[in-house]
Amino acid sequence: MNPRPDFYAILGISRDATPEEIRRAYVEAARRLHPDKNVAPGETELFLEIQQAYETLSDPKRRKAYDATLPPAESTSSILTPEVIFSRPQLVRLNEPQLIYVLLTLRPSPEQLSLPLPALNVCLVLDRSTSMKGVKIDLLKAATIQFLRSARPEDIVSVVAFSDRAEVIIPASYYRDRLRLETLVRNIQPSGATEIFQGLQTGLAEVQRAYNNQRINHIILLTDGYTYGDEQACLNLAEEAMRNGIGISAFGLGTEWNDIFLDQLAGRTGNTSAYIAHPKDIQKFLLEKFKELTNILCDEVVLMGELSQGVQVNYAFRLQPQPGPIPFHHTTALGTVIRSEGLSVLFEFLIHPSALNSSPLTLWSGRIRISMASQPIPPPPIPLRLERLVEEDASPEPPPPAIVQALSRLMLYRLYEQARQDIQAGHHERATRLLKSLAEHLIRQDQHQLAHTVLLEAEHLQRKRTFSLTGEKEIKYGTRALLLPPPGSKQT
Amino acid sequence: MNICSKCLCPNPVGALFCAECGASLIPTELTTQSFRTDRFDASADGAIVSPPPITLPHRDQAWASLHLIESGHILPLADRNDYTLGRYTEGQPILPDIDLSPYQAYAAGVSRLHALIKREGKRVIIVDLGSSNGTYVNGKRLTTRTEHLLNHGDIIALGKLKLQILLH
C-alpha cells in the first residue's frame, strides 16, 4: 500500500525545493489542472490538493511544521534509473582548456514496463501544396488512412491539411466512423503554396481541444517544401506547444525543404526532424512514429540546472531515441523515454583552466524533471550532480567502451556538420577534406553506399562549391541513422 | 594539446577523436601495424638485403608470384602480362587487377591504384602509378611513373605493405 502522497510529491518537487521552485511547480500544476480546463474525473479534487500543498509549503513557518511530520524521504526516483559515464576518471590540472565527455542514460525501471501503454491524442498536419500533386499526394493519403486504421479504440486522432491556408479534415475524435472519415482523407486535393504556420496553428488547436495530460499529445508535421517568412512564428508556436505538454515531430519529404528549420521546430519539443527520400516510404515512417508514440514512457525529460564558472557544454547530442543535436540551455528538453530503449544523451564539456581551482570540480548540477502520461502528478525530479576530481597527472586508463563507441559514430555526423559549416563560411577546401575523411571512415565501418554518396558530394562540392540538395540530406540523415544501435542489439 | 597522428591537427586534451579528420586519438596497440623487420638485415651501405626466397611449388602458367610477407599468402601472376595492384573501394571507377584490401592494405597506406607489375619478355618491371605513400623496392623509393626492373626476391613495399616478388 502506498501512503498518501505528501505535499512535495503532489507538487512534483523534492524536499529541498527553493521557494521559487515551489511557486513555479504550483503555477504549472494549476495551469494544467484548473477546474476551467481539466477534463478527467477527479482532477478537481487534485487541484484542491495542489492548492492546499502550495498554501502550506509557501509559508516558511507552516512548511517547517509540516516537514516535522514527514517520514524520512524515500530514495530517488524509482521510475527512471539515471546512469552517468565519464570519458575519464579525473580532470588534469592544465593551463589549457580540456574536454571531458559524459554519457547520460535514463533507463526505465522494470516495473514501469508493465504499465499499460498510453492513449494518444495525435494530429497529422499534412502539406497539400501544389508540389504534392501526383503520386506524392496519393501515397500520402494511403499512408494517412493506414495510420488512422492503426489507431486503437482509446486513441484520439485528427487530420489537418494545409497549403497557404489550413483546413481541418478530421476534427479531434475517436476513430469510429471509418468509411466517412477515410472518404474525407481521400478527397484532399493539392493546391496552393506552403505555409507551415497555418497548418501548425490549426493542428495545435485540434490537439489542445482534446488535450489530456494522461495521453501522449502530439503533432506530426509532414511537408515537402520550404515555408517562407513564418519560421519565427512557427518556432514560437512550438515553444507554446512544449509549455503545454504537446510534442511536435517533423517529416521532410524529398529534398526541397529546410532541414535546419524542421530540426529547430521539432527540437523545441525534444524531438527531431526525419527525412523521407521517397513518397513510398511515408507509410513506413508514419507507422513507426505511431508505434514510437504508443511506447513513450515519459513524454518529456527536462534538464534544469547550472554549469560552474569556466565550464561550458560544447555539444549535446541525443543518441536514442531520435538521434539529433540538442540545443543546451539552462533548461534543456532532452526528449522522450521509450519503454524498451530508455534515453541516452552525450555531452561534450569544455573546461577552462580557471575552473580547476577546486577539487572535486562540479561541472553541472541540477535536476532531471520528467513528466509521464501515466501519472497526472509529475514524479519528483531526480537530482543530478556531475563532478570530477582534479589531479596533477592524467590517468592511463582507457576511456569506457560505451563512450568510445558512441563517439566513433557521432564523429561521422560531426564531420558532416563541420563540412556544412565550412561551406557556409566559404572554406570549401576544408569542407572537401572533411568529406573525404568521412568517406574513409564510412568505408572502414562497411557503409559503402553512404561513403559513395559522400565521395560524389565531395566532387560536387569542388565543382559547384556547395552541397547538392539530395546529397546533403542523404549524408545528414544517413550519418544520424548510424547512431541508432543495430537492430537486434536492443536490451530488454 | 593532443596532436592527431594522422593529420597533425591539434585537438584539446581529453578529445577522443580528431575534429579535423575523425581519426582516433586514443592510444592503443592496434593503431600502428607491426612489420616483422627482424627478417631483413640492413647491410653496411644501408640497403636492405632480402632473405633467401622461399621455393614455390611449380605453377604451370605463372610467370611470377607475389609473396605477402605479413600474411604469408602467395598470389600467382599468370593469365595476363600486366597487373595493377591496389585496393578496392565501392564506387571507384577503375578497379585494380589485384585487390590487396584483404591484407590490411588500407591501414598500410596502399592507394586505390598503387602500382603496376608487367612482363616484357623475360624482364619483370614495376611502375608506381602516382600512389600517395610511394612504392619502394628494397627500401628505395621509386620515382612515380618510371619503370623499375625487378629481380627475383626483391622486396616491394606499397606504402607499408610488403611483398616479395618471386620470378619463375
Of A411, A449, A451, which has the smallest distance from its Cβ to B17's Cβ? A411
Q: Is the distance from CB of A11 to CB of A50 less than 8 angstroms?
A: yes
Distance from the A479 Cα atom to the nearest Cα atom in chain B, whole angstroms: 13
A437, B21: Cβ pair inside 8 Å?
A: yes
Q: Give the integer Cα–Cα distance in Å for A488 and A476.
A: 24
Q: Give the integer Cα–Cα distance in Å for A223 and A395.
A: 50
Q: Is the dihedral of CA A348, A352, A353, A357 positive or negative?
A: negative
A87, B16: Cβ pair inside 8 Å?
A: yes
- ipTM > 0.85 for the complex: no
Q: Is the distance from CB of A247 to CB of A269 less than 8 angstroms?
A: yes
The closest of A303, A407, A322 to A85, measured between CA atoms, is: A407
| Three-class secondary structure of residue A364 per DSSP | strand
For A185-234, the pLDDT digits (tens) are 999 999 988 899 999 999 999 999 888 878 899 999 999 988 878 889 99
Return the residue in B13, B26, B94 with the most chain A beta carbons within 10 A, the one to mutate for interface testing.
Answer: B13
DSSP state letter for B117: E
Return the residue in A101, A403, A410, A440 with the most chain B beta carbons within 10 A, the one to mutate for interface testing.
Answer: A440
For A331-348, the pLDDT digits (tens) are 888 888 888 778 999 999
B28, A418: Cβ pair inside 8 Å?
A: no
Name the percent of chain B in helix, strand, coil, to the closest 5.
5, 35, 60
Banded pLDDT at B55 (limits 50, 70, 90): very low
pLDDT at position A77 over 60? no
Q: Is the dihedral of CA B119, B120, B124, B126 positive or negative?
A: negative
pLDDT at A5: 63
Q: Is the distance from CB of A431 to CB of A422 less than 8 angstroms?
A: yes
For A371-414, the pLDDT digits (tens) are 877 666 667 788 889 988 888 877 777 888 888 888 888 888 98
Q: Is the distance from CB of A172 to CB of A95 less than 8 angstroms?
A: no
For A156-165, the pLDDT digits (tens) are 999 999 998 9
Q: What is the mean pLDDT of residues A38-46?
A: 65
pLDDT at A78: 67
A100, B90: Cβ pair inside 8 Å?
A: no
B19, A96: Cβ pair inside 8 Å?
A: no
Q: What is the mean pLDDT of residues A175-185?
A: 88
For A227-267, the pLDDT digits (tens) are 878 889 999 999 899 888 899 999 999 888 888 899 889 98
DSSP state letter for B110: -
Which of the given ranges, A109-123, A294-308, B26-40, B48-62, has the highest pLDDT on average? A294-308
The closest of A122, A128, A166 to A147, measured between CA atoms, is: A122
Q: How many CA atoms lie within 13 A of A177 on its CB side?
A: 10
Contacts of A444 in chain B (CB under 8 A): 106
Q: Is the distance from CB of A192 to CB of A184 less than 8 angstroms?
A: no
Instruction: Give me the percent of chain A exceeding a pLDDT of 70.
Output: 92
* Cell numbers standing for residue A434: 572533411
CB pairs under 8 A between A and B: 66
Distance in angstroms between the alpha carbons of the first and the last residue of chain B = 53
